[in-house]
Amino acid sequence: MDKTYTCCSCFRTVPEDEAFVRSVNLTSTAWCRPCWFAKNAHLLVPQQRGQSTDEQQLRRRWLLRRRRFASGETTRR
């Protein structure tokens, strides 16, 4: 069964994949899309970070992980 939320503005039932959920005073608060954009139209939603496909950066990351593993280091810095 899919999880649903109730919009705190219009009290409409909102599916999990459409809800804007935030934690307010350690309680999950949800909004439907129309209510969210009516209330927060001034907020900019940041884009997700792109994945680096630069070959040198990928190789450098792989070498660092290999060195950490070889030295027995188990935690990240």
pTM above 0.75, yes or no: no
What pLDDT score does 60 carry?
Answer: 82
Q: Give the start-to-end residue ranges of the domains of the chain.
A: 1-41
pLDDT of 52 > 90? The answer is no
Higher pLDDT pick, 74 / 30: 30
pLDDT of 67 > 70? The answer is yes
What count of Cα atoms within 13 Å lies in the side-chain half-sphere of residue 46?
Answer: 3
Hey, CA dihedral for 52, 22, 12, 6, is it positive or negative? positive
What pLDDT score does 74 carry?
Answer: 65
- In DSSP terms, 23 is beta-bridged to 28
pLDDT of 50 > 70? The answer is no
